[in-house]
Structure 1
Amino acid sequence: MENPMPIENYRIHQPEAWAGSMDDQQLIRRIKESDFSESQINEGRDYCYFLDKKYCTSNTENKEYVCMAYTLNEPSNLERASVTDIVVEENEIYNIHRISVLRDGVLIDKIPDTKIKVLDNENQSSGGILSSNKKINITIKDLRLYDVLILEDTRVKGFTDRDFLRKEFSKYVWVSPDNYWAYGNFRFTFINERNETIAYKKTFFRDEQGNVLDPEVNYLKKGEQFIIDEENYINPVDANREIFPFIDFATESTWKDLSNYIAPIYEEIFSKASLQEFAPNLVEKLDAIADQDEKLQFAVEYVQNHIYYIFNADEMNGHKPQDPSVTYQNKQGDCKAKSVLLKVILDYIGIDSSIVLVNFHTDFYIKYYLPSLLSFNHVIVKINYKGETYFIDATIRDEFGLIENRGFIYFMHYLEVKRDQELQERKAYKFPYYCIDEKVEFHAQDTKGTLKLTTTYKGNRANAMRRYFKNTNKREVVDSWNNFLFYSLNYSNDRNGTDVRNIFKDAIIDIVSDDKKLNEFKIQYQATVENPYYVDAKNNRFLMYFDRNVVKASARDFMHKDLPFWHNFDSERYEIHLYTDQKIDTDEKYTAQESTINNPYFEYTSRKKITKNGAAVFIDYKPLVNLEIPPSEFEDFRTAHHTVADSNFGLGIDIIEPGLMNRLKFSFKKRFNN
C-alpha cells in the first residue's frame, strides 16, 4: 500500500470492542443470496447485503462505526467505489478496519491495493472560509464489475476546549436510507455514554397506508441504546413527494434552559465592551451624524462592508464570540464576531438590538427538532426600531438603504440570546414598497417599433441588480434583456432561431439613478424593433407583451405531501402600454379582460385602458410572505395563480387589417364568435 504522507488523520487497525467484530467466515456467511436479493439485482437495483451503523456519544468524543457490503454491478457504482473522499474535522480520526471484496466466493483483502492521501480540505480561503478539515482520498485498485465490496471503518471525533458546546450537548440526526438501495439487512444503533439523558424524536414515520404518524419522543439514559433492525428492506418513502423519516437525538433540554446557558456567555462579552475605548475614531464618525436613521444605516453598513467576513468552521463549533475590540482592531471576524460588534455599536447610539441564532438551511425542520443549540449554524442581529422589527445579517456585503428599505431575509425560526427565551417564529411580512416597479412603452408605426422599459428595483432586488450591473459586461446585460423581450413579445413563436440582435436594433440599457438611502436602483432599456408585430400562421398581426416572471410557476407546479409551500415572492407593479398606427379590436376578450384576486396570501389586480389604436394594462401584485401556506388552503392559492396565468399577466391587441374584405372578415369573425 502506498502512503505518501504521514498517518495523522487515519489509522488502520481492528475495531474497538464497543463496535463488535466479525471474522472472515462470519462475513462471508452474511453475504448470502436470497429470493429478495436476486429479485432486486434482476431489476437492476444496486444491492447492499448488510449495513451496520453504530453511533456512540460521550462527554469526551463522538464515534461512528460502519460496516457494509454492497454490489458493484453498475459501472457508475464501480467508479464511485474506486475513488472516495472522506472529510474529517479537526481532531477527528478516520479508522480503517477492513477494505475487502468477495469475488467468485473468495474474500480478498484490498488494503494492499489501496492508496491513501491526506489533503488539506482548503479551497476557499480567498473567500474568507477557513477550515482545518482534512480530506482523506482513498483509491482502491483493481475493483471489478460484480465484485461485492466490504468496507468497515470508524470515525472518532475527540472534543477540544474549543468544542465546549459539544462536550455539554449532543445532537445527531439519523435519516432513513436512500431508497435507491435495497438492503438485505439494515441495522442502526445509537449508544448513549453521556452522563446526561438523551432524548430522541421520531418524525415523519408512516403507517401502512402511508399516513404520517404523530412524532414520538423517548429517552436514553447513560449506557442505554436505541436500535433499528430491518430485514429485506427498501425505504418506501416517495422521495419526490415525501420527507424522509428521521430521528433527532439531542441532550434532553428546553429552549428556556438553553437560552439561559448561552446568554451569560454573550453577557460577559458585552460587559467588557466599551466602544469609546477601543474605537474612538468610529465614535467620532457616529457622533458627527445628526440624523438617527442615517446613523443606524452607517452602523450597519460599516460592519457589513468594513469588517471582513471570515467563516472559521472550527470556531463555529462553539458559541463563544470574539471580543468586539479584537474584531474592530483586526477588521475581520465570523458571524458571531461581526454581530457582536454591530450590537455594541447599536448600544452606543441607543438602538435596541439583540443577538439571535438561526439556521437558514434547516429552518423548516427546526420546529420538528428537539431543543438544541447545535441546531443553529449562524448568528444575526435583531433590531427594534420605531415600532418595527428588522433582522440584519452582518456578514452580507454591498447592501444599502435606511433600515426600512434594506433587503428582507427569509426565515422563520430563531432563538434570541437572552435569558428565559423560547424558540420564536417571525410574523408574516408585507413589503412596504414594490420590489419591482416597471413601465413598458411599445410604439409600432409602419414596420418599426420603439420599445422603452423603465424599471425601479428596491430592497433585495436593488442590491442584486446593483451587483449584477457592477459585475457584468454591458453587452451581456443588453443581450439578457433582448432574450427576455424575445419571449415577452411572443417573437419566439414566429421567428424562433433569429439572432435577437437583428430584432432589437440599437439596444441600450443605462442606469438612470441609484439612491443608496431609499435603496432604489433605476434602469432604462431602449431599442428599435424590426417587424414589431407577432404574426400567426394565418397572417393575423398582434402586439403582445406578457411578462412570464409575473406567473409564479413554482406555485402552480408545487406537489408535496409533507412540505407546505414556502411563500417568498416579491411585490411587483407593472404598467404596460402598447400603441399602433393601425386599428385594433377593442372588444377582443383577452384585450379587455381584467382580474381581481383577493387571496389571503396575495392581492392581485389587472386593469385596462383601451383606445382605438392601443391599450394599457396596470398590474398590481402585493403578496404576504415569509410564511408556510397550510396544505388545506393551498389549492385555492394555486387556483388563484392559475387565474393570473390565464392571460392576466400582460396585454395583447389584435390588429384589424385595412381594406373592405378584411373588415368584412373581421365582422363575420366577431358575429361567429358571439
Structure 2
Amino acid sequence: MDNQIQVENYKIQQPEMWAGNIGDQEIKDRIKDSEFARKQIEEGRDYCYFLDKKYYSSNTENSEYICMAYTLNEPGNLERASVSDVVVEENEVYQIHRISVLRDGVLIDKIPDTKIKVLDSENQSSGGILSSNKKINITIKDLRLYDVLILEDTRVKEFTDRDFLRKEFSKYVWVSPDNYWAYGSFKFTFINEREQQITYKKTFFRDEQGNVLEPEINYLKKGDRFVIEEENYINPVDSGREIFPYIDFATESNWKELSNYIVPMYDEVFSLASLKDFAPNLIEKIDAITDQDEKLEFAIEYVQNHIYYIFNADEMNGHKPQAPSVTYENKQGDCKAKSVLLKVILDYIGVDASVVLVNFNTDYYIKYYLPSLLSFNHVVVKINYKGEEYFIDATIRDEFGLIENRGFIYFMHYLEVKKDQELQVRKPYKFPYYCVNEKADFNVQGNTGKLNLVTTYRGNRANAMRRYFKNTNKREIIDSWNSFLFYSLNYSNDRNGTDVRNVFKDAVIDVISDDKKQNELTIQYSSSVDNPYYTDPQGNRFLMYFDRNLVKASARDFMHKDLPFWHNFDSEKYEINLYTDQKIDTDEKYTVQETTIANPYFDFKSRKKIAKTGATVFIEYSPLVNLEIPQSEFERFREDHHTIADSNFGLGIDIIEAGLMNRLKFSFKKRFK
C-alpha cells in the first residue's frame, strides 16, 4: 500500500469487539450465487450479497460499522467503487478493516492496491461556512468488471467537551435501504452502551397489503441490542408515493425536560452583559429613532446585514450560544449568536421576543420523531408585536420592510427556548397583502400591438426580485419576460421556434419604484408586437393572455400516499386588458366565463368586463398557507385547481372578421356551435 504512515483521520486495524470479527472463509461462504442472486443479476440490478451494519452508541462515542459484499457488474458501479470519498468530522476516525475482492473464487486483499489521501473538506469558507471536516479519498487499483467487492470499515466519533450534547443525548435515524439494491442478506443492529435508556420508534412500516402500521415504540437499556434482519430482500417501498420506513432512536426524554435543559445555557449568556455595557454606539443610533416600528426594523436589519453569518459546523451540534457582546465586538456569529444578539437588542427597545429551535429540512418529520434537541439544526427569533406573531431568521441578508411587510418563513414545528415548553405548531397564515399585483395592457391597432405590464411585488417576492435584478444581466431579464409572454399570448402554438426577440420588439424592463419600508417593488415592462393575433389552423384570429403562474401544477399533479400536500402558494392579483380595433365575439363562452371558488384553503375570483372591441378580467387568488392539507380534503382542493386551469387563469377574445361573408360565417358558426 502507498500510505505506510497512519494519520489521525483514518487507521487500518481490526474491528472493535462490539462489531465482531468475520474471517476470510466466512466471507467466501456468505457470497453464494442463489437463485435469488442469479435472477437479480440477470435483470441488471446491482446485487449486494450481504450488508451487516451496526450502530454503537455510548456516552463517550458514536460508531458505525459496515461489512458488505456487492457486485461490480455495471461500469458505473465499478467507477464509483474505484474512487470514493469518505468525509469525517472533527475527532472522527475512519477505520479500515478490510478491502478485498472475490475474483474467480479467490479472495484477494486489495489494501496493498489502495491509495489513501486526506484532504481538507473546506470548500465554502468564503461563504462563511467553517468546518474541520476532512475528506478521505480512497483509490483502489485494478478493480475489474464482475468482481465482488468486500468492504469492512467503522466510523468512530469520540466526543470532546464541545460535544456535550452528544454525550448527554443520543439521536440516530435508521432509514430502510434504497429499493434499487437487492440484498441476499440484510442486517442492522443498534447497540446501546449508554447509561441512559434509549427509546426507539418504528414509523411508516407497512403490512402485507401496503397499509401504514401504527408507530411502534420500545426501549433499550444499557447493553441491549435491537436487530432487523432480512433474507433475499428488496425494499418494497413505492418511493414515488410512499415514505421509506425508518426507526428513530433517541435518549428517553420529553419536550418539557429538553426545554428546561437548554434554557440555562441561554439565560447564562443573556445575563453576561447588557446592551448598554457593550454597544453604546448602537444604542445611540437606536435612541435617535422615535418611531417604534422603525426601531424594530432597524434592529432586525442591523443584525441581518451588519453581523456576518458564520456557520460553524463543529459547534452547531452543541447549543451553547456565543455571548452577545462577543458577537457585537467581532461582528460575526452563527445562527445562535445572531439570534441571541437580536433578542438582546429587542429587549432593549421593549419588543417581546424569544429564541426558537427549528429544522427547515426535516420539519415534516419532527412531529413523528422522538423528542430530541438533536432534531434541530437552526435557530430563529420569534417576535410578538401588536398582537401578531412573526418569525425572523437573523442569518438572512437583503430583507427589507417594517415587520408586517417582511418575507414570510415557511415551517411548522419549533421549540421555544423557555421553561416547561412543549413542541409547538405554527398557526396557518394569510397574507395581508398581494405578493404579486399585476396590470397587463395589450392594445392592438392594425397589425401592431402595444404591450405594457406593471407589476408590484411584496414580501418574499419583493426581496427575491430585488436580488434577481441586482444579480442578473438586463438582456437576460428581458429574455425571461419575453419567453413568459410568448406562452401567455399563445404564440407558442402558431409560431413556435421563432426567436422571442423577433416577436417582442423594442422590449424594455425597469424598476420604477422601490419602497423598502413597505417592502414593495414595482417594475414595468413594455414592447411592441407585429402580427399580434394568435391564428389557429382554420385562420381564426384571437387575442389571448393566460398567466400560467395561476395554474398550480404541483397541486393538480400531486400524488402521494403518506405525505400531505404542503400549501405554500403566494397571494396574487391580476388585471388583464385586451383591446383591439376589431369587433369581438361578446358572447363567446370562455370570454365571458367567470368563476368564484371558496375553498377552505384558498379563495379565487375572476370577474370580466366585456366591450365591443375588447375585454378585461380581474383575478384574485388568496390562499391560506403554511399548513398541510389532509388527504381527506385534498381531492376537493385539487378539483378546484382544475377549475382554475379550465380557462379561468386569463382572458381570450375572438375576432369577428370584417366583411359580409365573414359575418355570415360567424353567425352560422355561432348558431350551430
Length-normalised TM-score, structure 2: 1.00
Shift of 1:6: 5.6
Q: Deviations over 1:150-189 (max 9, x none)?
A: 0000000000111000000000000000100111100000
| Residue number in structure 2 paired with 1:440 | 440
Separation (CA, whole Å) in 1 of partners of 2:76 and 2:344:
54
Question: How far apart are 1:73 and its partner, in Å?
Answer: 0.7
Tell me what 1:398 maps to.
398
For 2:531 and 2:127, the matched residues in 1 are separated by 48
- Deviating above 3 A after TM superposition, structure 1's stretches of 4 or more consecutive aligned residues are none
1:399 CA displacement: 0.1
2:481 and 2:4 map into 1 onto residues whose CA distance is 53
Query: Paired residue for 1:490?
Result: 490
Contact kept in structure 2, 1:67 and 1:151, CA below 8 Å: yes
Indicate conservation of the 8 Å contact 1:98/1:151, yes or no: yes
Q: How does 1:159-558 map to 2 (within 5 A)?
A: 159-558=159-558
* Deviations 1:382-416, CA, capped at 9 Å, x for gaps: 00000000000000000000000000000000000
For 1:454 and 1:135, the matched residues in 2 are separated by 51
Partner residue in 2 for 1:50: 50
**Equivalent pair of 1:273/1:344 in contact (CA under 8 Å):** no
Deviation at 1:245, TM superposition (A): 0.0
Distance 2:44 2:499 in 1: 46
| Equivalent in the alignment of 1:155 | 155
Q: Deviations over 1:599-634 (max 9, x none)?
A: 000000000000000000000000000000000000
1:5, CA displacement in angstroms? 7.6
Shift of 1:38: 0.9
For the residue of structure 2 that corresponds to 1:184, the secondary structure is: strand
Other-structure match for 1:99: 99
Instruction: Give yes or no for contact 1:4–1:117 (8 Å, CA) kept in 2.
Output: no
| Amino acid in structure 1 at the alignment position of 2:303 | V
CA distance in 2, matches of 1:478, 1:258: 52
State the SS of the aligned residue for 2:222.
coil
Amino acid at match of 1:379: V
Tell me the distance in 1 between the aligned counterparts of 2:380 and 2:63.
32
Superposition deviation, residue 22 in structure 1: 1.2
The one-letter code matched in structure 1 to 2:455 is T
Q: RMSD in angstroms over aligned alpha carbons?
A: 0.7
Q: Deviations over 1:235-266 (max 9, x none)?
A: 11000000000000000000000000001110
Instruction: Tell whether the 8 Å contact from 1:513 to 1:522 is kept in structure 2 after alignment.
Output: yes
Distance in 2, Cα, partners of 1:493 & 1:33: 57
The offset of 1:3, in angstroms, is: 2.7
Q: CA deviation at 1:140?
A: 0.7
1:273 positional shift: 2.7
Secondary structure at the residue paired with 1:162?
helix
The runs of 5 or more residues in structure 1 that have no matched partner are: none
Counterparts of 1:550 and 1:273, CA distance in 2? 51
Whole-Å Cα distance in 2 between the matches of residues 602 and 3 of structure 1? 63
Distance in 1 (CA, whole Å) between partners of 2:322 and 2:428 is 33
State the identity %.
81
Query: 8 Å contact 1:265–1:320 — kept in the other structure?
Result: yes
Task: Tell me the alpha carbon deviations over residues 505-543 of structure 1, each in whole angstroms, 9 at most, x when there is no partner.
Answer: 111011110001000000000101111100111111000
* 1:627-662 C-alpha deviation (Å, 9 max, x unpaired): 000000000000000000000000000000001110
Cα distance change, pair 663–546 in 1 and its aligned pair in 2 (3 A): same
CA distance in 2, matches of 1:2, 1:255: 51
Partner amino acid, structure 1, of 2:78: L
Q: Deviations over 1:265-284 (max 9, x none)?
A: 10111011310110000000
Partner SS, residue 230 of structure 1: strand
2:636 maps to what in 1? Answer: 636
SS at structure 2 position matched to 1:116: strand
**What residue number does 2:623 align with?**
623
Give me the whole-angstrom Cα distance separating, in 2, the residues matched to 1:13 and 1:195: 28
Partner amino acid, structure 2, of 1:654: D
1:615 match: secondary structure: strand
Q: Which amino acid aligns with 1:235?
A: N
**Residues 5 and 117 in structure 1, CA contact (< 8 A), matched pair in contact too:** no
**SS in structure 1 at match of 2:672:** helix
Q: 1:636 is paired with a residue of what secondary structure?
A: helix
Q: Which amino acid aligns with 1:189?
A: T
Partner amino acid for 2:417?
V
- C-alpha separation between the residues in 2 aligned to 1:496 and 1:486? 9
Shift of 1:2: 1.9
1: distance between equivalents of 2:4 and 2:135?
A: 14
Report the equivalent of 2:567: 567
TM-score in terms of structure 1 length? 0.99
**Distance in 2 separating the partners of 1:237 and 1:642:** 30
Provide closer, same or farther for how the CA distance between residues 5 and 348 of structure 1 changes in structure 2, counting only shifts above 3 A: farther
- Aligned-pair distance for 1:381? 0.1
Amino acid at match of 1:668: F
In 1, Cα distance between equivalents of 2:654 and 2:595: 20
Q: Matched residue pairs, number?
A: 673
Q: 1:60 maps to which residue? A: 60
Q: For the residues of structure 1 that align with 2:589 and 2:27, how far apart are their CA atoms?
A: 74
SS state at 2:316 partner = helix
> 8 Å contact 1:541–1:655 — kept in the other structure?
yes
